[in-house]
Amino acid sequence: MIFWSGWGFLALVFAMLGAMVGTLTGLAVGVVAEPTNFGTALGLAAAAVGTWLVGRRLNRPTPGFSERTGERIMIRNRHTFFFVPMQYWAPVVGGVAVLAGVLAI
């Protein structure tokens, strides 16, 4: 089972697309004909940056007003994947990118 709230599933989508596009690009340029190449590492690194930036943007609080009291409040947004805020998946994807780069050597 996969658990997410809001747009948190984008963390998985970014990682999968980054790995796929990076691997296919690495194979197209002829870096090496292995499933894991430097293109994979670069694609995952780009996915990590994208996950961090989009997660930070989506999870930042927005100003609003309380309907009951009329006072100004900050509304907290929750975009999580497996109960972890989206932007905190970026270091995990970055670690996988480093591992893919080491395996590509």
Q: Which domain holds residue 28?
A: 4-59+77-103
Closest C-alpha among 75, 97, 93 to residue 84:
93
Is 64 within a domain?
Answer: no
Helices (H), the chain: 10-29, 38-59, 90-103
Q: Kindly report the pTM of this predicted structure.
A: 0.84
**Centroid of chain to Cα 95:** 12
Q: Per residue of the chain (105 residues), what is the pLDDT tens digit?
A: 778 899 999 999 999 999 999 988 888 887 666 666 788 999 999 999 999 999 999 999 988 888 888 899 888 889 999 999 999 999 999 999 999 988 887
For residues 78, 81, 85, 91, the Cα torsion angle rounded to the nearest 10 degrees is: -160
Is 29 a domain residue? yes
Q: Which amino acid is at 99?
A: L
Residue 95 lies inside a defined structural domain of this protein: yes
How far is residue 25's CA from residue 101's CA, in Å, rounded to a whole number? 15
Is position 97 within any domain? yes
- Amino acid (1-letter code) at residue 87: Q
CB 18 within 8 A of CB 96: no
Q: How many domains does the chain have?
A: 1
